[in-house]
Structure formats: structure tokens, C-alpha cells
């Protein structure tokens, strides 16, 4: 272990908040956004299939709650490199003792934190500032046919978004609220 990441557990098994250590000098700093050896110790398995960037223009915008269905389920490492967000992961692992519970954490360009999200979670966030930038490492490639999601405003999830929710994509807004017999995904 390089000691470049500090992991803090959450109430949802396997979901971790990672803090990146900044190697500072008189020029500024360097920190690792991803390191295969380090993250393997925190549960990352296999390669980085994709590294994505998103930009979100206006605060209040919510993207989510996204996941890919098995066998295309993915581990995600989510990082905010500009602005501030509230990042949220929902446990949708069938038979999980914390099924449908969620964990929220503020990620920002300043706090050097990332959320390491195992397979079996739906992920979303709300921009708390304008002009947010995010970096996503995905363990599996984007597979449109395997994409699914939960409605971020579904009362069954009980997510208390700090700002009025705006700019949901048509797809995200169209996710139906969960039926009482929703069982989640095989983890």
C-alpha cells in the first residue's frame, strides 16, 4: 500500500469514502486519482474499463440514480474535480441488510474525497455549485442495453436533496417509483 489513499467505511458494506493524499511542494501538489494496486485493497477488481468526465452547468441539477444490470454491473470511483456536490449511493443488492438504504457525502475540488461504489449500488449526485466537473472510473464498459436507474425523487429512497432539484434528464425523470415488491439486483 502506498499510503496515498485513506479509506473510511460507511454503514453500507463495501461502500467507502476515500481521501486522496496530496504530495505538496513549492509548485503545488500531486495526488493519485486512481491506483490499481492501492484500490485493489479497497475492493476494486480488474481493470479501469472507462474513465469519464462530466460537466454540470447549474447548481441544483441532479443526475441519477444510475446503475448497470448484471453481468455489466460496475464498480465506480467518483471524484469531483471542480465545485461541490452531494454524492449519493443507494444499496440495491438483493438480500442486503441495508437494502434501499443510502449514504450521502459531499465531494468537492477542495476536500480530496472520492466515493468508491461497489457493484449493486445506484449512484447519483446533486450539484451544489455551478460548473461542476466529475471524473468517473468504471470497472466495466458503458453498455446501454444494461443501463437502468431509480427515480432520485422516489419517496422509497428518502434522499433529502439539499437544493431544489432541477434539470433532471428525461430518462432520469421517467424512472417509475419503486413498487413495494422491488427486490433489487443480484450482487
Ligand X SMILES: Cc1cn([C@H]2C[C@H](O)[C@@H](COP(=O)(O)OP(=O)(O)O[C@H]3O[C@H](C)C(=O)[C@H](O)[C@H]3O)O2)c(=O)[nH]c1=O
Closer to ligand X by CB, 47 or 142: give it.
142
Grid cell at residue 61: 441539477
Question: Residue 83 interacts with ligand X (CB under 6 A)?
Answer: no
Q: How far apart are the first and last CA of the chain?
A: 27
Question: Residue 123 interacts with ligand X (CB under 6 A)?
Answer: yes
Numbers of helices and strands, H then E, in the chain: 2, 13
Is 136 an annotated catalytic residue?
yes
Closer to ligand X by CB, 103 or 125: give it.
125
Nearest distance in Å: CB 28, ligand X: 29
Q: How many residues bind ligand X (CB under 6 A)?
A: 12
Nearest distance in Å: CB 73, ligand X: 12
Q: Let me know if 37 is exposed, middle or buried by CB neighbors in 10 A (0-12, 13-18, 19+).
A: exposed
- Are the C-beta atoms of 7 and 18 separated by less than 8 Å? yes
Beta strand extents in the chain (DSSP E only): 5-9, 16-20, 23-25, 28-30, 50-56, 62-68, 76-82, 84-91, 102-108, 113-117, 121-127, 132-138, 147-149
Question: Residue 136 interacts with ligand X (CB under 6 A)?
Answer: yes
User: Rule CB under 6 A: which of 5-44 touch ligand X?
Assistant: none
Question: Residue 103 interacts with ligand X (CB under 6 A)?
Answer: no
> Which of 12, 15, 17, 63 is close enough to bind ligand X by CB under 6 A?
63
Is 66 an annotated catalytic residue?
yes
178 vs 56, 62, 77, CA distance in Å? 27, 18, 26
Among candidate residues 136, 138, 140, 175, the one labeled active-site is 136
Question: Residue 52 interacts with ligand X (CB under 6 A)?
Answer: yes
Residues near ligand X (CB under 6 A) are 50, 52, 54, 63-64, 66, 123-125, 136, 142, 169
Amino acid at each position: 500500500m502506498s499510503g496515498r489513499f485513506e479509506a473510511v467505511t460507511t454503514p453500507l458494506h463495501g461502500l467507502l469514502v476515500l481521501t486522496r493524499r496530496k504530495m505538496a511542494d513549492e509548485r503545488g501538489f500531486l495526488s493519485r486519482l486512481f491506483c490499481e494496486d492501492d484500490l485493489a485493497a479497497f475492493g476494486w477488481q480488474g481493470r479501469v474499463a472507462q474513465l469519464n468526465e462530466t460537466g454540470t452547468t447549474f447548481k441544483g441539477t441532479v443526475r441519477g440514480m444510475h446503475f448497470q444490470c448484471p453481468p455489466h454491473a460496475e464498480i465506480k470511483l467518483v471524484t469531483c474535480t471542480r465545485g461541490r456536490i452531494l454524492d449519493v449511493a443507494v444499496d440495491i443488492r438483493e438480500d442486503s441488510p441495508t437494502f434501499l438504504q443510502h449514504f450521502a457525502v459531499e465531494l468537492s475540488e477542495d476536500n480530496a474525497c472520492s466515493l468508491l461504489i461497489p457493484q449493486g449500488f445506484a449512484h447519483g449526485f446533486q450539484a451544489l455549485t455551478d460548473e461542476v466537473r466529475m471524473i468517473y472510473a468504471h470497472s466495466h464498459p458503458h453498455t446501454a442495453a444494461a443501463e437502468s436507474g431509480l427515480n432520485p425523487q422516489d419517496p422509497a429512497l428518502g434522499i433529502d436533496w439539499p437544493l431544489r432539484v432541477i434539470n433532471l434528464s428525461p430518462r432520469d425523470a421517467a424512472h417509475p417509483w419503486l413498487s413495494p415488491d422491488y427486490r433489487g439486483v443480484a450482487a
